[in-house]
Amino acid sequence: MIWRWLVALGCALAAATSAQAEWLEARSRHFVLYSDTSEATLRKQSEALERLDWGLRRFMAVEEEPEIASRKLTVFMVEDRDVKRLCRCSNAAGFYHSRVSGSVAYSGRGGWTDANNWGRVVLFHEYAHHFMFGSYDVAFPAWYAEGFAEFASTMRISDDQAVIGYPAQHRANGLMMGERLTAAQLFDPANRARWSAQQMDVFYGRGWLMTHYLSFDRDRFIKFQNYLKAINRGVPGVEAGQQAFGDLKALDKELARYLRQSRLPGLPMRFEGAAVPPVAIRRLSAGEAALIDERMTSVRGVNRESGRKLFGKAAPIAARYPDDPVVQGWLAEMAYDAGDFPAALAAADRALSRDPKSVQALLYRGMTKLRQVNDAKSEDAAAWAEARRAIVAANRADPNDAEPLWWFWQSFGMQGIEPTPSAVAGLHRAQELAPQDESVRFAAAMVRLKAEELPQAKRLLRPIAYHPHAPADNPASRMVAALDAGKKGAEVMAIGAAAMMEKAIMRAGEGGD
């Protein structure tokens, strides 16, 4: 009897563990979350992220955008050890990638009841970047881009309000004990290349301090706006700071006094009149749940070698679910990345037999055919047109998905012919739909340069030139400098073309696909 009772108890515990670990998807206006947590926890996390977006929009006076599926940020909420494994680094609590196929983030799933939880802080920080680069078509200096992300990372959200302005306690050591970086050092982007990891920690903290200092005083914020305008006119950082703020040593003294205050200002933003964001939660199908780890790895990014290994793991799993269009669409992408084009087409066809409007299956069917005719060095216009048909079908299935537009434009370059006007228009629309993707932004800038639409090209290039993780002398910054010097579009394009060739050579040397 005891033995039977223990067996029954073991089965019950196993069933409970299995139910608890069931993979769920939560869809809201700005996010898609995947996790194997409870439905209540995932709903709470999804609502908190929507409140974060609401708070940032209210604080920055940014209007709500239309709800477009392809602009949602996909977040995989996983164990901390899986964040590190997927990041391929030892100390990450989360990370983010912006891309035309849909920006993604990975975050630790636990501990969200604590506003200082490191995984939550990192995810809020990364979403602030996503929000900023998607909302503004202007250049932000690195200290503000990172300072604003730190500023947003500590937003506290309760049932009735969001409060922005809490101290970045995780930067306290660098702020209080570390090297005191001056405003002149922050304003000069060339300094970052020489800083140690410890100095970069101080840089993040000082960026938060400067952002906080400028955000709650109207006169200071006007000076900051003047500084931003100067930066976007091409004025060098230190000079722009002196024009806007005056004596930078005096600014350093003001910041020191500000940091020593016993209390710092903040802004409570009450939710009165703002409905709780709706969240739709579903359980992943058996096939999706079985393949989710491989899907996360695939979305993280692979080269040809790692892609082959991943496809080798995924194919036997997907074979058990031939009638699941999502699983087969995922498999088509993995087969494509592995270079197994017959398998990619077969998986895409299986997905389309169940869901004829699957954007992913249509897209990867078209991308695979493009690679095949490209690798064959085909000059048959009909073969290229046939390859594009699935890309066009993917666009028709979802006109607001940026990736089919991007690939339709790229297909003409692969063929070695001039893109059609509709392809150029599609590229510009893709850039609007995926403003965070630097490759799409850069390509759109090159097209503007070719058309001698120089102001538009400069607006596209400036955010890349000032990206917080880009070196000071990056290709976009050289191109902007050439435009500021009065160079013509063709001359500036040559700088960009040389940079792209250099990048291609570097990637080939790294063994990437």
Banded pLDDT at 20 (limits 50, 70, 90): very low
**By three-state DSSP, how is residue 267 classified?**
strand
In the predicted structure, residue 439 carries a pLDDT above the cut 50:
yes
Mean pLDDT of 306-335: 98
Mean pLDDT of 398-404: 96
Domain ranges of the chain: 168-263, 437-513
**What pLDDT was estimated at residue 5?**
40
156-157 vs 161-164, strand pairing mode: antiparallel
Please state the three-class secondary structure of 319-357 as a single string: HCCCCCHHHHHHHHHHHHHHCCHHHHHHHHHHHHHHCCC
Q: What is the pLDDT of residues 67-112, one digit of tens each?
A: 887 789 999 999 989 999 999 988 888 999 999 999 999 998 877 7
Most confident of 86-95, 343-352, 499-508: 343-352
**By three-state DSSP, how is residue 124 classified?**
helix
Residues 6 or more apart in contact with residue 355 via CB below 8 angstroms: 325, 361
Alpha-carbon dihedral sign for residues 197, 201, 204, 207: negative
Our CA angle for 462, 465, 469, nearest 5°, is 130
Mean pLDDT of 253-268: 94
Q: What is the pLDDT of residues 350-371, one digit of tens each?
A: 999 999 999 999 999 999 999 9
Minimal CA–CA distance to 125: which of 163, 81, 155, 157? 155
Q: What is the pLDDT of residues 278-290, one digit of tens each?
A: 999 999 999 999 9
| Token output for 12 | 């019950």
Banded pLDDT at 199 (limits 50, 70, 90): confident
Task: Choose between 333 and 233: higher pLDDT.
Answer: 333
The CA-atom distances, in angstroms, between 60 and each of 63, 241, 512 are: 9, 22, 39
| Global pTM value | 0.90
Banded pLDDT at 18 (limits 50, 70, 90): very low
Mean pLDDT of 121-148: 93
CB 192 within 8 A of CB 204: no
Banded pLDDT at 472 (limits 50, 70, 90): confident
Mean pLDDT of 393-403: 96
| Token output for 321 | 């679910």
